Chains A and B, each alone.
Chain A
């Protein structure tokens, strides 16, 4: 399977997630809909996982190079976080945000299809390639979920229906921060092997540092016992910085000579 078959896969996955979410929402009234709803959502994710496996097998290199490829992983993994959170804490609403975010990334890929390219430039042929990118992906997934949880808390605080669930957004941010830190250090160790120095203020590095500092700031604000309601806004908006560091960098004037521009053309 390649990008040629991708639209079918994307639409099937989104249909499963959407249909499953609807069933799950209505299972409040009819308990019988709960299991089929969850199953349908899992099928949506299973479709994405199978696509990734077959896609990788046909590519001869890990599909982690282009932004379109990382969006595929993102769309696959972020609903998984939603499912795990429901399984662990019985928090059901997070998965709706997660499948919405995942669908958003699939739609971007549908609108801007990637060119199918097998080649992997020599600088990326390293043992660090997979750990560096995967650690970052997991971090981004957790922080996206943290941001979704924070938005939900803000919504609940404004409606003042009930107190928000701040522990959830906090722990997701904490774990996400741990992964960001590993990603940053792995990147530095790899850079030393590939480009001769562990830190060169490449625009992508700079933005990864900014995002890391922002979440480091969150950790300290939390330790300083800053108002929990403000911190939900902080976490909700911090993710925007992460989005810039992820794919906004390529459009900035500073990025002309970035070593992280792996987009074809």
Chain B
């Protein structure tokens, strides 16, 4: 046997063993789920998770350095097993990507195997565990002794290792609460929707004002025969403007007047008012099946009925625009003597306070822009800096990978 053949046999032996190992791993995980009532894996909280992670990492480093020439350890940290575990993770994620991931839903066999919560299940956890072992060992071997040529490998794999391990064990310390705020009132408590517990927060929130902007409303035709709302022929659901013409088959409508914020006066005629009080009104005219018609349409609000216009067999309605922006002006007080600080919470613009991040989450959707309620989400994730360190290392490694790839091309 020449050297090349020996090598190939070695590789395929490693793959076969890796495949078998992955199958046994997943099968063991499923047995644990079925036997244990599909409860999933619970990660302990701080400080135990920190201790476990440090011990885990230390064991990997020691094993990698001392048992470098051991055949089993070499296989445990080799590419063939790594590849098998990557594919195993992809296959398990496939179940998680197809079946609804809410424990207690889906077919019974899936529930018994906890495929309704794959990502917190034993098969997934065991695979991730050995994935981290595999990646950790190879990482130590590429880092000690360090060569500049390995920088990309080290950054990418170390970043991934840190982000994955800290994300997994840090999940136990992640706190997410919903804080309902009513205009003119303050609160220092949040509601944990998973555990159904009230949580006392290290700060007080006072809602000064909740404010929402909407997109322009749209004109639509309600066809009572088909029980359907139809937009105009061209399929271009544009926001309404004065002077615009809209056509449906057999129906032509002219928007004579458009008042974005209006209210009816004593005689029932819409007149422009302050933006906070009014609703959009539009005066329409046109012909339906040869007959002239004219009248006001409005979107309505929780306090007044929408106005509609009969046109032939259909009804012309003004559909309220979707929300464009919503935000909460709040005063945040941390501690008793604190005078408080005014902040604005907006979607995509969270605010940090005492280790918590506050997010504009929602509002009372029935009241829309008249909502007096603002839902704020509070998130505390002490492991975030570690996960982000991992992310940035991945991106740095990725940039080098890109550069090397381009250069070789």
Contact = CB atoms under 8 A, between A and B. Distances in A.
B391 A185 contact: yes
Given A113-B235, A118-B238, A217 B90 contact: yes
Interface in A190-240: 192-199, 201, 203, 206-207, 209-210, 213-214, 216-217, 220-221, 223-225
Nearest to B397: A181
B100 interface: yes
B238 A201 contact: no
Nearest to B326: A122
A118 B96 contact: no
Given A201-B96, A213-B89, A254 B101 contact: yes
A2 B11 contact: no
A193 B348 contact: yes
Interface in A109-132: 113, 115-123, 125-126
A253 interface: yes
Interface string B33-64: 00000000000000000000000000000000
A235 B395 CA distance: 24
Nearest to B359: A196
B350 interface: yes
A178 B98 contact: no
Contacts of B406: 175
Interface string B212-234: 00010000000000000001001
A136 to B, nearest CB: 14
Interface residues of B, number: 60
A126 B323 CA distance: 15
A188 B395 CA distance: 12
Interface of A: prevailing SS: helix
Contact of B235 (A116, A171, A181, A210): A116
Nearest to B236: A116
A3 B176 contact: no
A216 to B, nearest CB: 5
Interface string B251-291: 00000000000000000000000000000000000000000
A182 interface: yes
Given A118-B215, A178-B401, A206 B86 contact: no
Nearest to A205: B97
Determine the interface band of chain A, counting residues with CB < 8 A from chain B: 35 or more
A2 B90 CA distance: 40
A196 B99 contact: no
A160 to B, nearest CB: 23
B148 interface: no
Contact of B79 (A126, A220, A253): A220
B26 to A, nearest CB: 15
Contacts of B395: 181-182, 185
Interface string A36-51: 0000000000000000
B82 interface: yes
A126 B348 contact: yes
Contacts of B94: 210
B307 interface: no
Given A178-B398, A213-B86, A224-B11, 13 more contacts: A115-B235, A120-B324, A122-B348, A123-B348, A175-B402, A195-B359, A197-B381, A213-B87, A213-B90, A217-B87, A220-B86, A224-B80, A254-B101
Interface of B: 11, 15, 79-80, 82-83, 86-87, 89-90, 93-94, 96-101, 106, 119, 167, 174, 176, 215, 231, 234-239, 321-326, 346-350, 357, 359, 361, 377, 379, 381, 384, 387, 391, 394-395, 398, 401-402, 405-406, 408-409
18 contacts: A118-B215, A118-B238, A120-B324, A121-B322, A122-B323, A122-B324, A123-B347, A171-B405, A178-B398, A193-B350, A194-B347, A196-B176, A196-B361, A201-B96, A203-B101, A213-B87, A217-B90, A224-B11
